[in-house]
Structure 1
Amino acid sequence: MILVPPSIFVGLLLALWAYKCLMTVLFQDKIIYMPYMPPFARKEKIADYATVCWPVEWEEQRIRSLDGTRISLCVGGIPRIEDFQAVRKHVVICYFQGNGSSPPPRLPLLSQVLKLIHTRAHTDVRYTLVALAYRGYWTSTGRATQSGIELDAQAMLKWIAETYTSPNTETQIIIWGQSIGAGVASTAAATFLSHQHDVPLAGLVLETPFTSVKSMLLALYPQKWLPYQYLYPFLWNHWDSESALRKIAEAGNKPRLLLMPATRDEVVPPTEIAKLEHLCKELKLEYERKNVVGALHTEAATRREGQEAVAKFILSATRA
């Protein structure tokens, strides 16, 4: 009888451990993707940010993903007199956000980058920024999953290639992703380069990136008594930037890379950016690294230093 209480206690601990493992696996999409945070994120409106974004003008475009899901894009640019004259080059910047909120609250910082670019750009070059609302986010339909978001990213790139290509204008694409969006960006870039496209991918910006979901699990939960590091075989969300970069290295026309970590990142350990930098060296990819000093995980591009770095990189990568 004396062994009954401790047996029950141990049994309850094991049951709780197993329950937590099961729930983590079954609800990983809910844990990783948070379109509902902060509250009312899906009800955000572009018009509410129009004043602070000026002179950048934004509009919503609705397109179909590769599986037919209706997804939304925020498309922005600065109207100029030159828009009605001959344009030698059109640079389209594709932005993939982090795992929370929606595109409209990010439009002010994206607008600031566009403003910085335009102050230094040639008058015969037009810059457009397209931000994707993943399925399940903002006004996009469906439910967020990695397989679905990969289709959304390719649909956006296909739409850009069809919409912004013209016989007399050179079109170039820059892909920019933040946090988990960096995983989306690298995966999208690898897939895009694996197909033969007339539109070149000139650059890839990875802001506060991590190597993979598995790597993050091992880095954040190294304790062997915790269940998390044993769960990666059951993941269906991987966002493996290492694998994507290896595919990019095999492409004929490799894009330039910008690695932009935040030095006070409270989410992604510094070991992750070190792994990615080492990988770029190993694969002989042309890259540069810009540390945003003092920035937290979501602050890298909100800081002037980060915005300047992205604008400078885009101008350099697309200069011909």
Structure 2
Amino acid sequence: MTVLFQDKIIYMPYMPPFARSEKMEDYTTVCKPVEWEHRHIKSLDGTRIALCVGQIPDSDRQARAVMPKKHVVICYFQGNGSSLPPRLPLLSNVLKAIHARQAVPEQDTRYSLVALSYRGYWKSSGRASQRGIELDAQALLNWISTTFSKPSSNLELVLWGQSIGAGVAATAAATYLKDQAPEDPPVTGLVLETPFSGIKSMLIALYPQKWLPYRYLWPFLWNHWDNIAALQTIATCRRKPQVLILPATRDEVVPPGEADKVERLSHEIGLPTQRKDVIGALHTEATTRREGQDAVARFVLDVSKGKHVR
């Protein structure tokens, strides 16, 4: 039953109750001055998927003498439960923190945030599965490349995933970079919030007793979200992103050793990597807390300026 119903166990768009009926409008006031737009695009297999696109309008920013020379788009991949609207306030806080930290001479860079609603989640059609979500993530990156590319400005991408979304982000980055054409916008940053190394490792960590059957089920799974394999692929690509690992020190879902594995591997294969532990945070609190939001904002600003982390 665990094998047959793994998609139902891993992906929970129905939790908490009424998650799929959430409305963006209910969060408009707390998100200001960030404005959010609900969009729909087609996944690579034709499935209709929903996006939330957030920006701070130019009228609410400091006056610009010239059009932005660079546009950094942060692509957000959520965890396995709930929907996007309740996450919009924390995503808005990150955009606001980026805006607040920008110095006047650096106002030639614009920052936007695009959040993906996986198939089967919120207003997206279909049913969630790893293969389907992988197609959704690639469709998102293709749409951003087409929609935001301008002859007058350079487009850069930062991928940010939380929990299982970290696996989505890392896998999406690996697929995109492996097939990237020279004219495609680069992925300059990868944020892995409360990541695990892979579902196989999670099974062994959560069920270490050899007499339990769960640790032996991984060969029968079709959901893997293997961050280790994804990072190894990224390390072989010509244009490598910088990596931020953002664990929660009181994570009750992902064992603490999982972030250690991801960090160790990332350093070993030569990816520029930094780590910021959010002290006292539970699994879903790493970026609901101000220090987590500030860590993401600082990282995005640093990679957009070309600063290299160690």
Structure 2 unaligned regions, length at least 5: none
1:39 aligns with 2:20: no
Q: Separation in 1 of the partners of 2:135 and 2:38?
A: 19
Equivalent position SS for 1:254: coil
Separation in structure 2 between the aligned mates of residue 201 and residue 172 of structure 1, nearest angstrom: 6
The answer to whether the 8 Å contact 1:92/1:174 transfers is: yes
Q: 2:32 aligns with which of 32, 38, 54?
A: 54
The TM-score normalised by the length of structure 1 is 0.92
Deviation at 1:83, TM superposition (A): 7.7
1:147 is aligned to 2:131: yes
Q: Distance in 1 between matches of 2:257 and 2:218?
A: 19
- Report if aligned partners of 1:268, 1:297 keep a CA contact under 8 Å in 2: yes
Q: Give the distance between the partners of 1:173 and 1:180, measured in 2 at CA.
A: 20
Task: State how far apart, in whole Å, the 1-side matches of 2:172 and 2:65 are.
Answer: 32
Which of 277, 288, 297 is the equivalent residue of 2:263? 277
Alpha-carbon distance in 1 for matches of 2:221, 2:163: 18
| Corresponding letter in the other structure for 1:130 | V
How far 1:196 sits from its partner (Å)?
2.0
Cα deviations across residues 217-269 of structure 1 (Å, max 9, x unaligned)?
00000111111001001000000000000000001110000000000000001
SS at structure 2 position matched to 1:26:
coil
Distance 2:125 2:208 in 1: 37
Corresponding residue for residue 274 of structure 2: 288
Q: Which amino acid aligns with 1:158?
A: N
- 2:92 is equivalent to residue 108 of structure 1: no
CA RMSD in angstroms comes to 1.1
Q: What pairs with 1:39-188 in structure 2 (closer than 5 Å)?
A: 39-81=17-59, 85-121=66-102, 122-188=106-172
State the distance in 1 between where 2:242 and 2:176 align: 15
2:303 is aligned to 317
CA-CA distance at 1:281 after TM superposition:
1.6
Query: Contact conserved, 2:71 with 2:111, CA < 8 A, in 1?
Result: yes
Q: Do residues 246 (structure 1) and 228 (structure 2) align? A: no
- Residue 248 (structure 2) aligns with: 262
Instruction: Indicate how the Cα distance of structure 1 residues 248 and 213 shifts in structure 2: closer, same or farther if over 3 A, else same.
Output: same
Aligned 8 A contact 2:64 2:107 in 1: no
Q: Name the residue aligned to 1:17.
A: none
- Structure 1 position 123, deviation (Å): 1.8
Shift of 1:195: 1.2
| CA 253–171 in structure 1, closer or farther in 2 if over 3 Å, else same | same
Q: Structure 2 CA distance, aligned partners of 1:196 and 1:303?
A: 35
Q: Counterpart of 1:224 in structure 2: which amino acid?
A: K
Residue identity (%): 67
Rate the CA distance shift 1:178–1:83 in 2: closer, same or farther, 3 A.
Answer: farther
Is the partner of 2:3 in helix, strand or coil?
helix
**Displacement after TM superposition at 1:280 (Å):** 1.1
CA distance in 1, matches of 2:276, 2:44: 35
Say whether the 8 Å CA contact 2:119–2:136 is kept in structure 1.
yes
The partner residue of 2:284 within 298, 302, 306 is 298
Distance 1:187 1:280 in 2: 14
Distance 1:278 1:315 in 2: 24
Q: Contact (CA 8 Å) 1:83, 1:126: kept in 2 or not?
A: no
Structure 1 residue aligned with 2:173: 189
Mapped to 1, the partners of 2:178 and 2:88 lie a distance apart of 30
How far apart, CA to CA, are the structure 1 residues paired with 2:206 and 2:125? 32
Q: Which amino acid aligns with 1:100?
A: G
The SS at the match of 1:317 is helix
Q: Which amino acid aligns with 1:110?
A: L
| Paired position in structure 2 for 1:231 | 217
2: CA distance between counterparts of 1:274 and 1:176?
18
| Rg larger for | 1
TM-score by length of 2: 0.95
Cα offsets for 1:247-304 (capped at 9, x unmatched) = 0000111000000000000000111011111101210110100000000000000011
AA aligned to 1:292 is V
Q: Kindly tell me: are residues 83 and 188 of structure 1, through their superposed partners in 2, closer, same or farther at Cα, counting changes over 3 Å? A: farther
Q: Secondary structure at the match of 2:278?
A: coil
Retained in 2: the 8 A contact 1:36–1:101? yes
State the 1:84 CA deviation: 9.7
The alpha carbon displacement at 1:85 in A equals 4.9
1:315 maps to a residue whose letter is L
